[in-house]
Structure 1
Amino acid sequence: MGTSRMFRIFIVLGSLFMILLIIIYWDDVGASHLYLHTPVSPGPKIPHHPPQPRPHTTRTPSFLSDIDAFVNQFLEPGTGEPTDTAPADMSNQSEKAEERYIPRREWKIHLTPLAAELRERQEQRRRLLQEMCANDSIVFPGKNRSFDDIPNKELDHLIVDDRHGIIYCYVPKVACSNWKRIMIVLSESMLLEGVPQRDPLAIPRDLVHNSSMHFTFNKFWKRYGKFAKHLMKVKLKKYTKFLFVRDPFVRLISAYRNKFEMHNEDFYRRFAQVMLRRYANQPTPPSSVDKAFALGIHPSFSHFIQYLLDPLTEKEMPFNEHWRQVYRLCHPCQIQYDFVGHLETAEEDAEHLLRLLRVDNVVEFPTSHRNLTASSWESDWFSTVPVEARRELYKLYEPDFKLFGYNRPDSLLNE
């Protein structure tokens, strides 16, 4: 009787030990195995086509193959992504969207090669980023941290399009509205009567900047939990990553013009009133932007620069995205970008990029000539800013100048 009881105890303990091993094995290995098998879709999904058989290889059954079979029960057919259907927006979707869906045209096969000058331009920009990130004499916050150390809240500018394998880091005041429109068209995240929107310019501006229209890295945690960082790194390795930048000082001028010279109630209450109180001798600024503009009251460009240089500003909150440094938005020393566009060469770069992504027959980059800020205006805008303040401002944005190949504005700094 004692032997039988001991045998049963050993059976129970052995079973518990095996379950524990399986749990540990899944936690340590299963996640990476799952994401290493996440497919990158280079183009539109073609429904109802059976998968092509893989070349036959001799393979013995393993625990990992059993895990794959288990996980595949929870994946959408043909996507390799966990099922997580977003709530339907009944204002622009239809129950019969599948019936009215019109497949995209096949991609073009380009017979003429890209100009060697454009390829060399990209090679130089990528090489410069690598050199600057490896240069120990260039120091800025967060430069040497790993991707794992980047807080989730700082990954909200990385937009992912799984349909085409694209990651775009958007930089406000660098044509980001139009590139966001491109990403909406490519990801087909906006439907009009059940059919994906094809015209970027037809997308309303309020939807362009609506976070629900874009799947960003900071949303991975909600969808994938503890596997989020693993999946991010796999997609960073496999997908084409791009960003667009511009001269840092010109970007600041553009931000000021757009947010403080135009009627913007939100920016007036959050930032302009602070500037007026601190630097413009306005202890009780008007309560609304309309009242302020009616009285001819708004912060000057010099007040804006004072605000950026004031230590109190970042003690209260991080820089707003419209004037936050690019290295803080896009982490170029942790993410190896495949394409670096400049606003100064926007048309050539956009055409090059869309062709590189093989989507130039699907969408065209909208040309915009609205209220552009020219770099030649820098001396006029900074004429009211003391030279010492200009030098402090350059130090604040120096990493962006050096990382992306913009010359030091000596004419502004050496007066």
Structure 2
Amino acid sequence: MEKVRKELNQAEMRYLHAFQLFLAVVVIFLVVAVGRNYSGISFHDYIKSSSVSVEPKVPHATLEAEGFVNETELPAASEEEIFMEKMKQRQEERKALIRQTCERFDIKHNISHMMPMMLVDEKYKVIHCSMGKTGTTRWKELFWQLLGNKLKDFTVQKYRRTKILDEQRQKFLLNPDWIQTITVREPFERMISAYRQKLEAPGPEFPKLSKEIRAKYGPVKDGKLATFSDFINYLVLGAPESLQTGNEHWTRFTYPCTPCAIDYDFIGHQETIGEDARYFLKLINAPEHIQHGPANKRHTDDEMSLKYYSTVVPRERLVQLYTLLIQDYIMFGYPPPVALKVLLGKGNESWQ
């Protein structure tokens, strides 16, 4: 009987060992199969593909506080927010360029040199240094609306710029509670625009001045109106007075608006005035119905610039004019004018 029991126990052990061996083979097979099916897949991806979640159950507020919330869960920036950030950066770059230029040329400005006539709004605490041929009429329209008037009732005669007295300069120009603004334009193109409106035949606004320029800076005294070449000779040979204390429609930006003495909050460019004015209105919290008028069409393009500047004699006047205006070009980020590159040729580096 004891012998039979021992034989049964040995048989059971053989079956048990056989079963263990079978399980081992199955496990090895499964490991190989899983390795083939998921080769090249990371553990993280494998876990994500399974139905079992291994994410810790941490409250969303805690994750957000710790900065671990997925960006896709945050609300996207609105178009207006993106625009305002873009314009803020543009303004910071323009301000930095002014500061760099003032330091580079060691420019010392005095606010007493500023032109006396400004656009002023005491309700919104805004003062605009208004230089001729930089979209001045559009800015007058805007300030007219800030006073509570309707745009359709605007005329240039109705809205006059404010004469800034000496005792008001500190209040308007240096007060951090006020917003100081300026608008500029590509200098060579501005000269053409000024000449065409103010001095060119057949019906200039300043016929007397046009004839005086012709008589003094033209080739002959014939009583005629000034040509564009006469006008450029006047600007160059009459400098610095012609470009510093002369008519506001062609004086340099760096003198009457003294950007090295005033930390302007807003610097507009006529070439980007649509976006710039939109930002300005947001900056002063103007009512939604107030709008800057549509940007004037760019009448002075490269073709017109070449047409006018090609008439200038002698040709070196172009280099001399650019040299006189170089601070305006650098301070406000304008590249050298196309007229110089084309008319003087690539090999001539006298203007660079």
Same fold per TM (> 0.5)?
yes
**Distance between the aligned counterparts of 1:344 and 1:371, measured in 2?**
8
With 369-378 and 387-396 compared, the bigger mean Cα shift is at 369-378
Identity rate, percent: 27
Deviations 1:327-356 (A, max 9, x none): 112110000111111111111111111122
- The answer to whether residue 149 in structure 2 is matched with residue 197 in structure 1 is yes
Deviation at 1:303, TM superposition (A): 0.9
**1:339: which partner in 2?**
266
**Distance between the aligned counterparts of 1:261 and 1:282, measured in 2?**
17
**Distance between the aligned counterparts of 2:241 and 2:188, measured in 1?**
19
User: Out of 329, 341, 347, which is 1:401 matched to?
Assistant: 329
Q: CA 1:130–1:360 in 2, change beyond 3 Å: closer, same or farther?
A: farther
**1:130: which partner in 2?**
99
Deviation at 1:372, TM superposition (A): 2.3
- The answer to whether residue 158 in structure 2 is matched with residue 207 in structure 1 is yes
Task: For residue 267 of structure 2, give the secondary structure of its aligned residue in structure 1.
Answer: strand
- What amino acid does structure 2 have at the position aligned with 1:391? V
Is residue 250–residue 378 contact of structure 1 (8 Å, CA) maintained in 2?
yes
Deviation at 1:171, TM superposition (A): 1.4
Deviation at 1:176, TM superposition (A): 0.6
Deviation at 1:165, TM superposition (A): 1.1
- What amino acid does structure 2 have at the position aligned with 1:331? T
Task: For residue 233 of structure 2, give the secondary structure of its aligned residue in structure 1.
Answer: helix
Deviation at 1:178, TM superposition (A): 1.0
User: Out of 68, 73, 88, which is 1:119 matched to?
Assistant: 88
- The answer to whether residue 143 in structure 2 is matched with residue 183 in structure 1 is yes
- The answer to whether residue 276 in structure 2 is matched with residue 349 in structure 1 is yes
Q: CA 1:322–1:230 in 2, change beyond 3 Å: closer, same or farther?
A: closer
- What amino acid does structure 2 have at the position aligned with 1:184? W
**Distance between the aligned counterparts of 2:343 and 2:318, measured in 1?**
6
TM-score for the superposition, normalised by structure 2 = 0.67
Deviations 1:246-266 (A, max 9, x none): 110000011011112355565
Is residue 278–residue 292 contact of structure 2 (8 Å, CA) maintained in 1?
yes
Deviation at 1:282, TM superposition (A): 4.8
**1:9: which partner in 2?**
none
Q: Which segments of 5 or more consecutive residues in structure 1 lack a partner in the other structure?
A: 1-109, 189-195, 222-226, 286-296
**Distance between the aligned counterparts of 2:282 and 2:207, measured in 1?**
41
- The answer to whether residue 195 in structure 2 is matched with residue 256 in structure 1 is yes
Task: For residue 309 of structure 1, give the secondary structure of its aligned residue in structure 2.
Answer: helix
Is residue 134–residue 184 contact of structure 2 (8 Å, CA) maintained in 1?
yes
**2:43: which partner in 1?**
none
Deviation at 1:234, TM superposition (A): 4.9
Is residue 127–residue 172 contact of structure 2 (8 Å, CA) maintained in 1?
no
Q: Which segments of 5 or more consecutive residues in structure 2 lack a partner in the other structure?
A: 1-77, 346-352
Is residue 351–residue 360 contact of structure 1 (8 Å, CA) maintained in 2?
no
- What amino acid does structure 2 have at the position aligned with 1:179? W
- What amino acid does structure 1 have at the position aligned with 2:99? Q
Is residue 253–residue 381 contact of structure 1 (8 Å, CA) maintained in 2?
yes
**Distance between the aligned counterparts of 2:80 and 2:210, measured in 1?**
52
Is residue 159–residue 169 contact of structure 1 (8 Å, CA) maintained in 2?
yes
Deviation at 1:114, TM superposition (A): 4.3
Is residue 268–residue 276 contact of structure 2 (8 Å, CA) maintained in 1?
yes
- What amino acid does structure 2 have at the position aligned with 1:275? I
Is residue 196–residue 204 contact of structure 2 (8 Å, CA) maintained in 1?
no
**Distance between the aligned counterparts of 1:232 and 1:357, measured in 2?**
15
- What amino acid does structure 1 have at the position aligned with 2:321? L
Deviation at 1:126, TM superposition (A): 1.1
Deviation at 1:206, TM superposition (A): 2.9
- What amino acid does structure 1 have at the position aligned with 2:323? K
**Distance between the aligned counterparts of 2:226 and 2:110, measured in 1?**
39
**Distance between the aligned counterparts of 2:190 and 2:316, measured in 1?**
20
User: Out of 325, 337, 340, which is 2:252 matched to?
Assistant: 325
Is residue 197–residue 204 contact of structure 2 (8 Å, CA) maintained in 1?
no
- What amino acid does structure 2 have at the position aligned with 1:336? D
**Distance between the aligned counterparts of 1:325 and 1:364, measured in 2?**
28
Deviation at 1:281, TM superposition (A): 4.8
Is residue 276–residue 299 contact of structure 1 (8 Å, CA) maintained in 2?
yes
Aligned-residue Cα RMSD (Å) equals 2.8
Deviation at 1:280, TM superposition (A): 3.8
Task: For residue 299 of structure 2, give the secondary structure of its aligned residue in structure 1.
Answer: coil
- What amino acid does structure 1 have at the position aligned with 2:108? N
Is residue 173–residue 255 contact of structure 1 (8 Å, CA) maintained in 2?
yes
**2:116: which partner in 1?**
156
User: Out of 167, 192, 196, which is 2:127 matched to?
Assistant: 167
Is residue 185–residue 269 contact of structure 2 (8 Å, CA) maintained in 1?
yes
**1:231: which partner in 2?**
171
- The answer to whether residue 204 in structure 2 is matched with residue 275 in structure 1 is no
With 382-391 and 275-284 compared, the bigger mean Cα shift is at 275-284
**Distance between the aligned counterparts of 2:222 and 2:311, measured in 1?**
24
Is residue 382–residue 412 contact of structure 1 (8 Å, CA) maintained in 2?
no
- The answer to whether residue 292 in structure 2 is matched with residue 365 in structure 1 is yes
Q: CA 1:390–1:204 in 2, change beyond 3 Å: closer, same or farther?
A: same
**1:243: which partner in 2?**
182
- What amino acid does structure 1 have at the position aligned with 2:318? R
**Distance between the aligned counterparts of 2:333 and 2:79, measured in 1?**
32
**Distance between the aligned counterparts of 1:411 and 1:357, measured in 2?**
40
**Distance between the aligned counterparts of 1:245 and 1:230, measured in 2?**
23
Q: CA 1:327–1:378 in 2, change beyond 3 Å: closer, same or farther?
A: same
Deviations 1:60-111 (A, max 9, x none): xxxxxxxxxxxxxxxxxxxxxxxxxxxxxxxxxxxxxxxxxxxxxxxxxx99
